Amino acid sequence: MKTIYLAGGCFWGMQKFLDSADGVLHTEVGYANGMYDNPTYEQVKYEHTGHAETVKVVYDESKLTLTALLRRFLRIIDPFSVNKQGEDEGEQYRTGIYFESENDLAIALEEIALLERETGGKCAVEVLPLDNFWPAEEYHQKYLEKNPSGYCHISVKF
C-alpha cells in the first residue's frame, strides 16, 4: 500500500472520483499543508489558514501505479487555474500533489512536465512534501455518497 495526497478543488467530488478507481483502497478528505493544527472547515474557509482541501489516497501499487493515478487526477481538474476549480474560489481550492516519499516527487514532476509539453501551458499544480494533514469533519467524509445531489465541480460522470 502507498499513500499520496491530492488537492483538486472541493474535496467532495475529488473523493468520489478517486474512490471509483480500481486499486484505490481508502480515501479520507481533510486539510493539508496549512499553518494551524486541526482546523475546522469554517476556519479553512474564512480565516485563511493556508490549508488546501485535500484527499488522502491509499492505493495498491500492484493494481494502480502512481503515474496512472496522477494522470487520472490531472485529467479531471483544471491544472492551469490558480486557487479556483469550478465555482469554488480561494486558496483552499488550489491544486496540489503532496507526497510523503521522495520517490513520488520525481513521478509527480514528470507528469506535470508531460502535461506542460502536451498543452504548452504552465501548470499551477503545486508539488510539495506533505507538511501536515488533518482529517475533515465526519459530515464531509464520503459526502456525495450521503448526499447524491450535492455540488460537484467535476464534470466527469462517476
Known catalytic membership, residue 10: yes
CA distances from 30 to 34, 38, 63, 118 (A): 11, 10, 25, 31
Q: What is the CA radius of gyration of the chain?
A: 14
Strand partners, 26: 58
Using DSSP bridges, classify how beta strands 95-99 and 126-129 pair: parallel, antiparallel or unpaired.
parallel
Length of the chain: 158
Query: Which residue among the candidates 7, 10, 29, 136 is catalytic per the annotation?
Result: 10
What residues are labeled active site?
Answer: 10
